[in-house]
Chains A and B, each alone.
Chain A
Amino acid sequence: MKGIHLGEFEELVLLAVATLEDNAYAVSIQSELHERVDRKANISAIHTALYRMEDKGFLESTRGGAEAKRGGKNKRLFRVTTYGYNMLKESKATRESFWNVLPQISTN
């Protein structure tokens, strides 16, 4: 696994794709990030993350759903690959392994 990293922003985008299921494309991901975690990202930053992760194999894409308000252009719809899910799980596991050994702190 050496050399393959999941950046913080990438992880968020990946999670957003997973959440959005069949309607995951740049614009919807942008609003999902805005609504769920209050993260205002420029559309171009999301593009970077999406295509990079596609190149890495975390995502796969199909085209579909041309709309007039898109100037008649197709959407690029993304889906998380098994490899991508594994990556997410691994990342979560890594964090939990830290949480498990962390001294209990009162959060109240």
Chain B
Amino acid sequence: MKEVTPPKLGQKLLKWIISEELYDDIDGDLTEVFYNDVSDLSLAAAKRHYLWSVLSSTRNIHLRRKLKFYNPLVMYKNYFKITFRNILKYKGYSFINIFGLALGMASCLLILLFVHNERSFDGFHEKKSNIYRLDEVQTFGAVSAQKVALSMYPMGPNLMADYPQIIDFTRYWTLNRTLLNIDNVSHYLENPVRVDTSFLRIFDFKLIQGDRDKALNESLNILLSESNAERIYGSENPMGKIIDIPDFGAQFTVAGVFEDVPDNSHLQFDALVSTLAWDDEQRKNAWGSNYLNTYLELANNVDIDALESKFNDFLVKFMGEESLDYYELFLQPLNEVHLGSMDITHDYNNHKKFSKASVDIFLILAFFVLLIASINFMNLSTARAATRSREVGVRKSVGAFKGQITGQFVIESIMLALLALVVAIGMCYGAINTLINIIDRDLSMNLFFEPFNLMLVLVTAVLIGSLSGIYPAFVMSRFNPVTALKGNGSTGGRSTFRSVLVVFQFAIAIAIIIGTTIATRQLNFMQNLDLGFDKELVVSIDMYGDTNEKYDVLRSELNNQPSIIGVTGTSQKLGNNLHQTSTTYELDTARVNGSSSFVIVDSNFFDFYKMEIVEGRALSKDFAADGQGRSFIVNESLAKELGADGSDVLGMPFHFGGTDTLGAIVGIVKDFNYNKLNLKVEPLFMSNQPWASWSEINVKIKPGNIQASLEEIEAVWTSLFPQRPFEYEFLDDHIDAMYQSEQQLTQVISILSGLSIIIASLGLFGLASFTVRQRLKEMGIRKVLGASVSQIVMLLSKRFTVLVLIAFIVAAPLTYYLMNDWLEGYTYKITVGVTVFLIVGVGSWLIALLTVSIQSLRAAKSNPVDTLRIE
């Protein structure tokens, strides 16, 4: 039979509620009532009644509680007072302690701001989880398979028509810089874009004026950004104004003004027009050419894999079976476009594209810097315990419990951490503008003052304070009051735990610094590498339809200027991904189709860029075929693809773009790097076509007075094209800009690595000063017995040297392994030599030594009379 007893839980609760003194009596009463109830009522009712009585007993929670021996409030006030007195008493150490932690916190906070900004990209679109970008995997013969962000004009509408899962689509088709004519005044639009009427339904770009449902429905409507509207029309209302665009031979009506596109949108545009103006039959069937982005809005809960698997059928339906040899379609979620597109090329509309891996590196670094700073904090607090032994002794002999002492020091450490947080936020305000300049991101400190984030930051600070305060607090609460009061209660002389922490700190700092050095060297190496063409002192100027008509005049006028060495034209800018086309060439047996990157260039292109011709000849005006577009120069990579060893390629019949009459290959140019150096050189051919329309001209100027040369070019330009404002860019600047994301990364990491060594040294400095202080008496005796200053400095520095050495031994192999792994991703890379390790190792040892010797020197120079006097 089941034993009838009052509910266990209730009993436990009661014991907890009622004071020890009364517990027996009250428990007895409740039990008696319970058994009375059991006999009078049911067991369940008795139990319920019992529990109710227990709960009501909470009113008696204060009854006969043990008398309190102290008033906690007074004690806490005392803790605060003592904390601040200690901060002020040891100003130097307090400064090191708080400043070090603040430095760590500040860098962590700033990095979190940056990471938050990176992750906020495209987050403001309400339908973001249903929006996908349509991408392709292209595999064209010679060129290895590559993911591209491009798609074809007819894809969007036909996908939507064929698949009910796709509920909307919009294309995003950029225009070049466009000249506007407004009341006979010329303005440029930097970045106008053609989009479908659905664009403003899918994306939530804010409209200030105009109807977002209708504005893009008219083929000759244009929407301007707020700042553009202001620039062009001032305070006038731009709505309904007519804009003449000579390049299109049409007049557009302003039908809306949108808020400037926020910096954290991967799409950036300053004007929108409708694709309707370009939507002719031929274009609607232009399968095979990729020149725009397509975004799809899917219905809720669509199975992406299932949808993607149907895309092959789609391609076959519209482009035939063989299209599968070249194309594959896939969907990229909108939230991955900004951070997940590093492996996608031809990705022209991806503002400030960044790699997720780098964001992760930043997060890891932020964590480690904060860790170093927290370890410092802990180390210094522990070391300082020595100076507080008397206080602990007094507190204990007056009757403090161990727990109270621990509590006191944990609270103190939390207060210091909060103080450091305040300092850190101040530092952030000081540094944020510099950071914004370096990484070119729109960051704001306001983010921290949102309630939730503020709570999070505060909680983290408290956590750091309590975690790093617990160890020193335990050390101090263990002090034996008798020895502590005698004045030598310090146990901090030789703590393995603290040594391990120092080693750990320095290992992290050394690893970060070596890593940064290698990354920086790799970057410099890539930027200074001989690209295979001469990029110095080349000015590139964009060309347009009207300026191309006068290309010959422009070229000869420019060539007449004294400081201009040469002029050439090209259809694509070097320092980019180049477009690809299909090729046709003849082997002994048959005609073969392939594919390659290409550039249409002026005949003097090779001389202009001092490119090395390995075999055959360069293009030249002297050969009629060259000017007629029937001569081709291939690079070594393409030559290898075409012929077995590349030697029998000269004279091979060759053409591109599906032409029937083939020309011939006349020369092989040495591979040159037209794209970023972490990509390998793809097959490429160049030729001059009679129909060529240059996208830019390149002007080589004499070294010396660059300003004067630019003025000469401007004079010629303006005299020929008064309607076109003169604008230019230096080619080497453009090429450097390709590495911008890497540069930002290394710059920020350099700062972090500097900070990490500073923080680590600060910690060492504080630690050394305490060790020295503890051994002052010993040093005094040594001096009396005849030790020299240098002997004493050596003695004190020896231990720290060993610690740094151990740290180095731990950090070096790990870093070597990690950095080699990182360098694998680059085609052109530096070799990781011993030198970096030696320099950083010796460097950090010297820094540590310097830090320590400043302190040891003080001990060594002190007068033994002073140090030995006090007993």
Say whether B26 faces chain A, with CB atoms less than 8 Å apart: yes
A67→B27 CA distance, assembly (Å):
12
Smallest Cβ distance from B29 to chain A, in angstroms?
Answer: 4
Supposing A27-B33, A27-B36, A43-B53 touch, asked if A74 and B28 sit within 8 A by C-beta, the answer is yes
Q: Give the chain A neighbours of B56 by CB distance below 8 A.
A: 42-45
Q: Give the chain A neighbours of B22 by CB distance below 8 A.
A: 47, 51
Interface footprint category on A: 20 to 34
A44 touches B53 (CB 8 A): yes
- Name which of B57-65, B349-357, B385-393, B401-409 contacts chain A: B57-65
Supposing A43-B33, A44-B60 touch, asked if A75 and B53 sit within 8 A by C-beta, the answer is no
Smallest Cβ distance from B388 to chain A, in angstroms?
Answer: 42
Smallest Cβ distance from A29 to chain B, in angstroms?
Answer: 10
Smallest Cβ distance from B4 to chain A, in angstroms?
Answer: 11
B12-49 CB mask vs A (1 if < 8 Å, else 0) is 00000000001011111111110110000000000000
Specify which of B26, B28, B30 lies most central, judged by the most chain A CB atoms within 10 Å of its CB: B28
Instruction: Classify the interface of chain A: helix, strand, loop or mixed.
Output: helix
Q: Give the chain A neighbours of B59 by CB distance below 8 A.
A: 44-45, 48
Nearest-CB residue, chain B, relative to A61: B25
Interface residues of A in 25-80 (CB under 8 A from B): 25-27, 30, 42-45, 47-48, 51-52, 63, 66-67, 69-71, 73-76
B32 touches A67 (CB 8 A): yes
A26→B57 CA distance, assembly (Å):
13
Supposing A43-B30, A48-B59 touch, asked if A74 and B25 sit within 8 A by C-beta, the answer is yes
Q: Give the chain A neighbours of B25 by CB distance below 8 A.
A: 26, 63, 73-76
A73→B372 CA distance, assembly (Å):
59
A47 touches B60 (CB 8 A): yes
A73→B24 CA distance, assembly (Å):
6
Say whether B822 faces chain A, with CB atoms less than 8 Å apart: no
Smallest Cβ distance from B175 to chain A, in angstroms?
Answer: 82
Nearest-CB residue, chain B, relative to A67: B32
User: Looking at the complex, which one of B27, B28, B53, B64 makes contact with A42 (CB distance below 8 Å)?
Assistant: B53
Q: Give the chain B neighbours of A70 by CB distance below 8 A.
A: 28-29, 31-32
A45→B64 CA distance, assembly (Å):
15
Smallest Cβ distance from A28 to chain B, in angstroms?
Answer: 9
A66→B29 CA distance, assembly (Å):
11
A106→B660 CA distance, assembly (Å):
132
User: Looking at the complex, which one of A44, A51, A52, A69 makes contact with B31 (CB distance below 8 Å)?
Assistant: A69
Q: Give the chain A neighbours of B31 by CB distance below 8 A.
A: 69-71, 73
Q: Give the chain B neighbours of A63 by CB distance below 8 A.
A: 25
Nearest-CB residue, chain A, relative to B52: A42
Q: Give the chain A neighbours of B35 by CB distance below 8 A.
A: 69
User: Looking at the complex, which one of A45, A48, A69 makes contact with B63 (CB distance below 8 Å)?
Assistant: A48
Q: Give the chain A neighbours of B53 by CB distance below 8 A.
A: 42-44
Q: Give the chain A neighbours of B64 by CB distance below 8 A.
A: 51
Q: Give the chain A neighbours of B27 by CB distance below 8 A.
A: 71, 73
Q: Give the chain B neighbours of A45 by CB distance below 8 A.
A: 56, 59
A108→B64 CA distance, assembly (Å):
49
Nearest-CB residue, chain A, relative to B27: A73
Interface residues of B in 223-282 (CB under 8 A from A): none
A2→B243 CA distance, assembly (Å):
94
B322-347 CB mask vs A (1 if < 8 Å, else 0) is 00000000000000000000000000
CB<8 Å pairs between A and B, sample of 18: A27-B36, A30-B33, A42-B52, A42-B56, A43-B30, A43-B53, A43-B56, A44-B53, A44-B60, A45-B56, A47-B60, A51-B60, A51-B64, A69-B31, A69-B35, A70-B28, A70-B31, A76-B29
Residues in B lying within 8 Å of A, measured CB to CB: 6, 22, 24-33, 35-36, 52-53, 56-57, 59-60, 63-64
Given contacts A44-B53, A73-B28, 12 further A-B contacts (CB under 8 A): A25-B29, A27-B32, A27-B33, A43-B29, A43-B33, A43-B56, A44-B56, A69-B36, A70-B31, A74-B25, A74-B28, A76-B28
